Structure 1
């Protein structure tokens, strides 16, 4: 049997998530990561794999923590509530006290060189999955009469995702939570009414 770990892997992963969130994939050096995690490079590799593996695990931690609003919003009873909770959750996650501003999933690897390609692709797939979840939820809303029969679930999902991504960029640029919540509210003012058919 190997020696037991001398550190809490969950705490270390949480700290790595914050480093990636704050500095992006390429900006986060192994030295930055191991220093924040309080472990040696050897311990990091043994517990989490290479930097790409660690990034994937950190993104999963983000999805289950600050990004948990995504799946919570999808469970709302109406399409309008889904959109409202999604944008509200996005703003709150992007402006969370004690955490970096913005969204790890949006800003973590938008502009990268060859060494960051895997991280960029990982985040593109992560965002695409969120879009798929929204589209499928809005499709069910059309089928159930909660959205008009001629509503386009793909377009509505892209609209909500684009607003959320823009809110993340604004938050990273220093916009206040209250201002971003007002933008999110304004984005939903022309929401399509429910179908008259029951």
Structure 2
């Protein structure tokens, strides 16, 4: 039987998640991670693997802990409610914590050196998977008559995700919650109406 680890792996992962969230993948050093976890570098290697593997673990934790609004949104009865819940959920998450605003998946690796390419690609795939889930939900909405015949579920899904990503970038730049809520409402004001009446206050 191996020696038990001398630190709480779950608490360490939560602490390092916040560092990645605040500083991004490239901006986070091993010194940052060891300071957050309260352990030395060999212990991190033993528990999580290298920095890339640690970031992937942090991203999984981020999904589990903070992105529950997204699958919940997909279960709402109308496409406009789905879009509203996603956009207002993005505003809430990206402005909730003053010490790490923005989105881990956006802050994580917008650009970087060649050795960071696997992480950048993983985040591209992560965002694309979310957009595809939304597209499928909007395809269903169109089939049910909740979106007009001329609506493009693919374009609408891309639109919602583009606005979401823009909100994340603006939150990271210091734009406040009230303005970002107004941005979300402005985006929703263009939502195409189908046969079902849209709710007055989507996503709230």
Bin for the TM-score computed over the shorter chain: over 0.9
Instruction: Please give the alpha-carbon distance, in whole angstroms, between the structure 2 residues aligned to 1:77 and 1:40.
Output: 49
Q: How does 1:9-158 map to 2 (within 5 A)?
A: 9-158=9-158
Give 1:116 deviation, angstroms.
Answer: 1.2
**CA contact 1:26–1:115 (8 Å) conserved in 2:** no
Flag as ranges the 4+ runs of structure 1 deviating above 2 A: none
CA distance in structure 2 between the aligned counterparts of 1:175 and 1:66, rounded to whole angstroms = 20
Aligned to 2:200: none
**1:130, 1:13 → 2: CA distance?**
23
CA deviation after TM superposition for structure 1 residue 98, in Å: 4.8
Name the TM-score, length of structure 1 as normaliser.
0.95
Structure of higher RCO (CA pairs closer than 8 Å, 6+ residues apart) = 2
Gap change, CA 1:129 and 1:174, over 3 Å in 2: same
The structural deviation recorded for 1:42 is 1.1
After TM superposition, give the deviation of residue 68 of structure 1 in Å. 2.1
Contact 2:80 2:191 in 1 (8 A): yes
* Cα RMSD (Å): 1.2
TM-score normalised by length of structure 2: 0.92
How many pairs were matched up? 196
Return 5+ residue gaps in structure 1 as ranges: none
